[in-house]
Chain A
Amino acid sequence: MRPIAWTRIAVTVATISVIAAACASDTSEPSAAPTSAVPLEDQELVVSNWAAYTPEGLVEDFEKETGVEVTLLEDHVNNEDVVGKLQASDGVGRDVVFISGPYVKTLLDNGWIGELDHSQIPNLANLYPEATELAYDPGNVYSVPYTWGTTGLCYRTDLVDTEIDSWLDLLAPDPSLEGKITMLGTERWLLQPALLSLGYSINTQDAAQIDEAKELTIAAKQHLLAFDDTVFYEKLDSGEASMVHAWDGWCNYAVNENVEFVVPSEGSDVFSDTMVITEASENKEAAHAFINFVLEPENHVKVAELVLYKVPNGPAMELLDPEIVKAYPNLGITPEELLAFETELDLGDAQTAWSQAVAEIKAS
């Protein structure tokens, strides 16, 4: 346990020094050489991910194969929380970080991550060509997609009598669904149904469009049971909710057999959770090896089996049991279909206007 303690101490010291030097302009140190002198089996890794997002045994198998000692932190609450944690430690203390696509730019702009060395990740060849073209990082220069998917409506066919095929079914629902609907409350997804139903980009930076989407969402809020990003599928199971705004994989967590997932006709987003390597990592060789290990088809398919999201890895998807795909049709969405949707991008200065709109919706 001693290595962990040392890492913690290092993180603490780093945090304190960052705080102490809060006003100093530049405290960055020269980053380690791409291949460190320490042999691979003596390297250590801190990998951080969402809870229940890493297949059981993956880390242990990697440790066995490489001799690298891995500390898996399952402490990600959401993307914003990860960014906050990296901001608080100035990107120190984690080697491989799992984060959603649009935040790759955020981490890059802050200097917390760097370019990947593709020669150390030969398994990148397993990625679908579409997965190398995702708009937030074309060419996978800084990030490797781990899972990908889309957002839609997840509902109980036995409780919903009307046809569900539009975002307006969520925003201006049939009276029978009054108080029986939940929406995602996270900033990036909260405005999406309104923006998509209005035909606007999900990355709009136009104040008038954000405002219009805000008004539409405030009106929609009157019909909601709750905003829910975490346990909406349980609400479907209990019958408390009849329809929820959901990520495709999470819709599968509802155990009720009458639950169905649909992508509204106006289209949706394509999101990807990715793996990045921190600039501060002192064991970049091990970090690259870890990403390469995940991309092995027999490892990556376990991710699809566990989280029931698609993985952007052709050979891995071929290994997936057809019975699972039959049971969870979202796994059958093809890369082409997915790429027809817009990718979430960083909002830049428009972030403040988005946040204000979200605060107004939440406070209304």
Chain B
Amino acid sequence: MARRDDAGTGNRAQGALFLGPGLVYWLALFLVPVGLILVYSFFRRTSIGGIEYTFTLDNYVRATEPLFVKVFLFSIRTALITTAIALVLGYATAYFIATRPVRYRLPLLVLVVLPFWTNLLIRTYAWIALLNNEGLINKGLRGLGIIESPLPLLNNQFSIVVGLLYAFLPLMVLPLYASIERLGPRLREAGADLGGSPTSVFRRVTFPMTIPGVLAGCIFVFVPSLANFIVPDLLGGGLKSMIGNLIQQQFFQARDWPFGAALAMWVIAITMILLVFQALMLRREGRMSGRGA
């Protein structure tokens, strides 16, 4: 990699040209907002909901109060459950699509991203129509005489997980599909030729070789699940707060931007840790496959 840096100035100018738009995007839409949140988190709320520019660590101290820790743990647990289910469902889906004949793959992928063409809010309300006590599922089951009183499908952790899973599953399928598709059938065939059972081929060949896709998919699902506030609000009936709800409440209802910023920094910190973890894993992965080659 380092050798490429010795290229001539023409290449360097070209590099800057190609890098420019991305860099501007990254600066304007990532670094500046995150920087602002970081700065705000060290200030104080004024009594009119403005920002008093005196340095304080109070917001971070307050963020470690049992109430907020409890909400954090609930959010992490909910996001983990969502990610785990998404991994199983997403892997199966991606594997299925990647092993179809080439001409079917694109239409199948389009089906995966199709829900994105409709507003998330509308799709979330559709889940309410399905899951509520007088909804399609409960009414249907009661009509068939299978149940007597409605199943508790809405306004609990179950419905939050359903909503998050539904919203973010495509983000799991796409990186996994890319990984599995790139791997191709040959290594699997080689594994089978060498006497591996389908299970051990999957366990010892396919899965380890698609770890980068697994990591990417898990992060893509876990991070937005952790910070989401629409799903717990609508499908959770507002009865269970997640960290996104608390942050939203601080910015809007409480008009305490500094404290909201401190809570948001925790989410950003978790995201950063996950990304560093992913980078380390990938590097290790890279070294291992480098050795094998």
Contacts and interface: CB of A to CB of B under 8 A. Distances in A.
Contacts of A225: 133, 155, 237
Given A226-B237, A348-B47, A362-B241, A187 B155 contact: no
Contact of B252 (A84, A109, A359): A84
Contacts of B106: none
A260 interface: no
A226 B255 CA distance: 24
A334 to B, nearest CB: 32
B26 interface: no
Interface size class of A (residues with CB under 8 A): 35 or more
A228 interface: yes
A226 B232 CA distance: 11
Given A110-B49, A227-B237, A351 B134 contact: no
Interface residues of B, number: 35
Interface in B46-67: 47-50, 53, 67
B238 A352 contact: no
Contacts of A221: 239
A42 interface: no
B132 A352 contact: no
Interface in A1-44: 19, 22-23
A19 B133 CA distance: 46
Contact of B239 (A106, A110, A224, A355): A224
Given A22-B36, A225-B155, A187 B254 contact: yes
Interface stretch (B5-13, B110-118, B242-250): B242-250
A351 B237 CA distance: 24
A237 to B, nearest CB: 9
A166 B154 CA distance: 28
A358 interface: yes
Interface in B26-48: 32, 36, 39, 45, 47-48
Contact of A19 (B32, B238, B246): B32
A228 B237 contact: yes
Nearest to A109: B48
B70 interface: yes
Contacts of A52: none
B50 A363 contact: no
Contacts of A110: 48-50
B27 to A, nearest CB: 13
A226 B250 CA distance: 21
Interface string A95-118: 000000000001001100000000
Given A22-B36, A225-B155, A355 B249 contact: yes
Contacts of B36: 19, 22
A329 interface: no
A360 interface: yes
A245 to B, nearest CB: 12
A106 B252 contact: no
A76 to B, nearest CB: 12
B137 to A, nearest CB: 13
A285 B53 CA distance: 36
Nearest to A238: B134
B55 to A, nearest CB: 12
B251 interface: yes
Nearest to A108: B48
Nearest to B238: A227
Nearest to B74: A363
A26 to B, nearest CB: 12
Given A22-B39, A83-B49, A227-B239, A355 B252 contact: no
B119 interface: no
Interface string A222-243: 0011111000000100111000
The 7 closest A-B pairs by CB, nearest first: A226-B237, A227-B238, A355-B254, A80-B252, A109-B48, A362-B241, A238-B134
Given A224-B237, A352-B256, A362-B238, 17 more contacts: A22-B39, A78-B252, A83-B255, A109-B48, A110-B50, A224-B239, A226-B154, A227-B238, A239-B134, A240-B132, A354-B254, A355-B250, A356-B67, A362-B245, A363-B70, A363-B240, A363-B246
11 contacts: A106-B48, A109-B48, A225-B237, A226-B239, A227-B239, A240-B134, A352-B45, A355-B256, A359-B249, A362-B249, A363-B246
